[in-house]
Amino acid sequence: MEFTHLDEEGRARMVDVSSKPVTARRAVAEGKVVMDPRVLELLKEGEISKGDVLAVAKIAGVMAAKRTAEIVPLCHPLSLSEVDVSFSLRDGGIVEIRSTVKANERTGVEMEALVAVSAAALTIYDMCKAASRRITITGIRLLEKEGGRSGRFIASEGIKGEVVAVNLSEKRGVPKSNVGSGYLKEGWGLEGDAHAGEWERQISLFPVEAMALVPEEVRKEMREGEYSENLTIQGIPLEELRVGRRLRIGEAVVEILQVGKGKLEPRGRAWIVSREGRFGRVLKGGKVKVGDEVELLG
């Protein structure tokens, strides 16, 4: 899709792409459907009354991508060579959707990829809403695109955030306190914290953006210490904080090995940390303090 322009009378129109060369185009988009974990279990077990949710959602995504020009008024109709829609099921009631669209065309296929994800997400909502209407569609975005004059785009490049709290507790089971600064020891974790050690969850991160997923009635009852991990960070999209990602935090480098604790706490107090906390290991030691830059390395 090309951006539309206004004509001399201020009316929107499609961009004329007839003079542009035909090149290989590719776009990848993603999104999430967040639901009660019990509803996701029904989906996994094939007990949603409308049928096989993911199979129907996949077909919906493919069909929608092919008809994008009929849905988004100023898109060019394109001949697509491939549309793929896939799903990943995550603890905490999350269905991750990813679409990949390819074509040999004069204009890009970003909108087709985004429409595929949107249609798949709406289909999941429709098929699961009888079990619960507390379902959220979120994080629909372009991940990558290739081809055309603008070349390659990767959403994760150049993303930076910051540290807003450095928290530790000297004993397990005790809420962490913000100490402002600390030292991340390679292969160990935050020095002085009871959870540090030679295991897979040496360091814990909590992204402030996850609070948007907490129902308002629950959020009002939560105190800061109830959702703190070793490092509270902001500015990095949740979608980028996935397993395998490496982050430079102050002088240190951390790798994410786990998202969520696997077993969810009761909804309330530590529920959001159970689902959205990031856990990993310290690859490179160094000092870290409030205000330090957090950079996504890959």
To 10 degrees, the CA torsion angle through 189, 193, 199, 201? -80
- Point out the domain boundary residue: 121, 154, 187: 154
Show the tokens assigned to 212: 């948007």
Could you report the per-residue pLDDT of 87-122, keeping only the tens digit for each?
Answer: 999 877 889 999 999 999 999 999 999 999 999 999
Clarify whether 126 is annotated catalytic: yes
- Point out the domain boundary residue: 154, 177, 200: 154
Say if residue 135 is in the same domain as residue 66: yes
Say if residue 13 is in the same domain as residue 105: yes
Say if residue 38 is in the same domain as residue 105: yes
Q: In this predicted structure, what is the pLDDT of residue 191? A: 96
Q: In this predicted structure, what is the pLDDT of residue 17? A: 76
- Point out the domain boundary residue: 154, 171, 194: 154
Say if residue 211 is in the same domain as residue 283: yes
Helix (H, G, I), strand (E, B) or coil at 215: coil
Could you report the per-residue pLDDT of 38-50, keeping only the tens digit for each?
Answer: 999 999 999 999 9
Q: In this predicted structure, what is the pLDDT of residue 1? A: 43
Catalytic annotation, pick one of 36, 84, 126, 292: 126
Whether residue 215 contacts residue 240, with contact meaning beta carbons closer than 8 Å, is answered with: no
Q: Containing domain of residue 38, as a range?
A: 5-154
Could you report the per-residue pLDDT of 231-274, keeping only the tens digit for each?
Answer: 999 999 888 898 899 999 999 999 999 988 765 554 544 677 77
Q: In this predicted structure, what is the pLDDT of residue 61? A: 98
pLDDT: which is higher, 184 or 10? 184
81 dihedral zone (left: phi>0; alpha: psi -120 to 50; beta): alpha
- How many whole angstroms separate alpha carbon 207 and alpha carbon 276? 8
Say if residue 94 is in the same domain as residue 216: no
Number of structural domains the chain divides into: 2
Say if residue 91 is in the same domain as residue 105: yes
Q: Which pTM value belongs to this model?
A: 0.69
Task: Output the CA–CA distances (angstroms, integers) from residue 133 to 34, 36, 125, in the order listed.
Answer: 11, 9, 8
Whether residue 5 contacts residue 15, with contact meaning beta carbons closer than 8 Å, is answered with: yes
Is residue 2 scored above 50 in pLDDT? no
Q: In this predicted structure, what is the pLDDT of residue 203? A: 96
- How many whole angstroms separate alpha carbon 143 and alpha carbon 99? 10
Residue 285, domain CATH: 2.40.33.20
Please, what is the average pLDDT of the chain?
A: 88
Whether residue 234 contacts residue 161, with contact meaning beta carbons closer than 8 Å, is answered with: yes
End-to-end, the C-alpha distance of the chain in Å comes to 28
Say if residue 114 is in the same domain as residue 205: no
